[in-house]
A and B are shown apart, each in its own frame.
Chain A
Amino acid sequence: MQSTQDAELVRRISSGDSSALDELLRKYGAGLFNAALRIVGREDLAQDAVQDTFIKLWNARSNINVKTSVAAYLYRAVRNRAINIQAHENSQLSLETRLAGQYDDSDGYDKNTELNDDIERALAELSPALREVFLLRADQGLSYSEIAESLDITDKSVRMQMYRATKALAERLKHYL
């Protein structure tokens, strides 16, 4: 699913128009930052992951070749960058432990209401892989195939993970459904 608007931005970027790069950043920056933050757990590192991705895109502008979704391309690139950054951060914790811990206290979501509490808890209880898939769908509105492309997994496993995430969340949030 290639949005024509995004395709036009990419075309302008490849012709050397930096304002198009800025538009693309403003359109997807917040979502990409949130996605990176879920991986690296620190705002400065998440910011780096997004910036690096856009600067790299700019430097490679003369041979950009985004055949499918620009959104999926960006999520995938930012995710890979974030994972690399994370790998460089020395930590004795396993990635999984860190993710689970950070998701709870450093994402900054407002937890005032009971509903929010329950949503956050339900999300935190999902495995990181299921959570990532579900949030790309819920928060970023990516299609199954865009998610598959972003995460470098098959459409079939996106469907399967969405199914499992949906069932788990439905069980935990049944009062609100």
Chain B
Amino acid sequence: MELDSPEIQDLEERLASIVKARPAPSREGVVEAMSRVVMAETAWSEAPVRIAVKHAYLRKWATYFATALVLIGVGYPVISKVSKTHRTDSRTYTTAAGQRASITLKDGSSVTLAPATTLRISGRTVELKGEAFFTVNHATQPFIVRTADVQARVLGTQFSVRRYSDDVYASVSVVNGKVAVAANTANQSERVISADQTAQVANKSVQVVVSNPNTLSWLNGRMVFDDMLLPEVLHELERWYNAKFVIGDSALTNEVVHAEVGPESLNDAVKILASALNAKVVRTGQTITFFKR
């Protein structure tokens, strides 16, 4: 057979298809991990406005870039992902489970995103899925936060809004200033709430209660569970640590948990919980199963 002859070309093609068809290991996880790292790097140099650097372990060079994103480690994992997409005049920021991020808006207002949260910003209107804490600068223009079923209108204040897709109600908690809260339907009147008040919105009705002092503990990397059922606690922790929790013993589903975790590693958090429950823990990769001891 000669170089470039039809026979050798045909042979090459057949061999290539045999070789290509051999089962290769899936690289999905690796590609995902590489994407996280690369996207976290690009976030530094792409963001619209400048911010103060809040965390000591930030790369020094990051401070030289016009940067609007500070990634705050949750103690786990080291790599943070903040994915963003662009439309003409809006920007979307997303945190994965196990990650938080802070964003400074053009007007100097800032937002801290809890894990597994998506925030779409267009001007002074933001749409939220998940949980975020806002510090809004005084301005004549109102700042509006919308979730699936609630909207909060603000003039210079600090407050948090939470509405994960599986939450029973949406909640708005005010730290400073005043926020007008209304269900997202036509003709709903606003309820104005102030410091230490939380508006809970479900089925288009707004209920105002005194804020739970632990509502904002996540901002400091802590999760406080004040007499919550174990399944709810584990659901929160899944977002926090990007792990999967399984209750291996139905007797545990009615356990009431009173615990405080974070900013420990996943392992430490699991240990705290296991000892509070007197449970046994089996860990397989990112899946953690609790059994009754």
Contacts and interface: CB of A to CB of B under 8 A. Distances in A.
A108 B25 contact: yes
Interface stretch (B12-20, B118-126, B277-285): B12-20
21 contacts: A16-B46, A19-B83, A21-B42, A22-B38, A25-B38, A26-B35, A30-B28, A33-B31, A34-B24, A47-B34, A55-B41, A55-B42, A58-B42, A109-B25, A112-B23, A137-B16, A138-B16, A138-B19, A139-B19, A166-B12, A167-B1
Contacts, number: 115
A128 to B, nearest CB: 16
B243 interface: no
A110 interface: yes
A6 interface: no
B274 interface: no
Contact of A166 (B15, B24, B30, B35): B15
A25 B30 CA distance: 11
B23 to A, nearest CB: 4
Interface in A29-83: 29-30, 33-34, 43, 47, 50-51, 54-55, 58-59
Given A34-B27, A54-B34, A160-B3, A123 B42 contact: no
A43 B22 contact: no
A133 to B, nearest CB: 11
Which range contains the number of A residues in contact with the other chain? 35 or more
A54 B31 CA distance: 12
Complex A-B, nearest 6 residue pairs according to Cβ-Cβ distance, in ascending order? A30-B27, A138-B16, A18-B42, A29-B31, A108-B25, A110-B23
B84 interface: yes
Interface of B: 1, 3-4, 8, 11-12, 14-20, 22-25, 27-28, 30-31, 33-35, 37-39, 41-43, 45-46, 83-86
Nearest to B31: A29
B86 A119 contact: no
Of the candidates A21, A116, A123, the one having the most CB atoms from chain B within 10 angstroms of its own CB is A21
A139 B20 CA distance: 5
Contacts of A173: 15, 18
A135 interface: yes
Interface in A125-177: 134-135, 137-139, 159-160, 162-163, 166-167, 169-170, 173, 176-177
Q: Which of B17, B19, B45 has the most CB of A within 10 A?
A: B19
B16 A25 contact: no
A19 B16 contact: no
B41 A58 contact: yes
A105 to B, nearest CB: 13
Given A16-B46, A110-B23, 15 more contacts: A18-B39, A18-B42, A19-B83, A19-B85, A22-B39, A30-B30, A30-B31, A33-B30, A33-B31, A58-B42, A108-B25, A109-B22, A109-B25, A120-B22, A167-B1
